[in-house]
Amino acid sequence: MTAEIISGREVAKAIREEISQEAAQLKEKHGITPGLCTVLVGQDPASVSYVTAKGKACQELGMKSFHHELPEQTTQEELLGLIQRLNQDDQVHGILVQLPLPKHINEAEVLYAIDPNKDVDGFHPVNVGRLVIGEEVFPPCTPAGIQELILRSGTPTEGAEVVVVGRSNIVGKPIAIMMLQKKAGANSTVTVCHTRTRDMAFHTRRADILIVAAGKAKAITADMIKPGATVIDVGVNRVGQKPSKKDPSRMVAILEGDVDFEPAKEVAGKITPVPGGVGPMTITMLMRNTLRAAKLRA
């Protein structure tokens, strides 16, 4: 039987409706409009696209959007000075410095300068520590989106065998921590696999919930999946180009996930597509963290 497709677009739409309603209530009761400030250094095309999408999401959800666009040659001291001003700005509830930064800027020092209570990306060591001890304020956005997809697809997590492929600080480690917490939507038994794991297929075939963030196209094949498992594919790999359906004269990227989707969907019980799975959830979770930051201020 072909797997049920978990649509990140549909789940994200439902969550955004909830965020919009809560933001309106916050403004009505407390006179506070959640505000997100993005900071972009340089003109990396992908970063410009991401920042534009975040500003658009704010407008759609009734939030304030602030943006600082700095030249490539901005010094670290100038960037840190801006962050300090944003930390003290009561209209700014969330601060997001778009990565990557130019090579002459120390990313860690910049991220650590953000007020933890405005760190809506969830990367500050204080927020990482809160996550580890089960008192997270701002869970990292992509892992939070993964967890929502699992829960809203109706997949049981209590006692489930969860296998995470990938150990990055952005996805693998945080989602592993989140799924083993002693709380609703977690309480799972978690295994983390990585590039030095022996016999990865042995582990992935045990997974009731398989979360793949390997960074390699089709790294997980159908024979590595337990029949009926829920498979969350985090990977986005550009493997070529094709003519656009809307404009055949324009070429667009061919995207593949870390899971070999077509054969895998004949084995899995539920599976996310690429694109349209985890991707739409990340900015939505950023908006939810910004709303949470504004509520803390209220």
Residue type, 158: E
Two structure tokens written together for 148: 């929502």
C-alpha distances (whole Å) from 128 to each of 116, 132, 194, 253 are: 10, 6, 21, 34
C-alpha distances (whole Å) from 58 to each of 35, 132, 144, 208, 243 are: 8, 29, 18, 36, 31
Residues 6+ apart with CB under 8 A from 229: 207, 208, 209, 210, 267, 268, 269, 270
Say how many C-beta atoms besides its own lie within 10 A of residue 27's C-beta: 16
Active-site positions read 54, 98, 121
| Alpha-carbon span 114 to 92, nearest angstrom | 12
The helix or strand, by DSSP H or E, that contains position 77, with its residue range, turns out to be helix 76-87
How are beta strands 189-193 and 161-165 bridged, if at all?
parallel
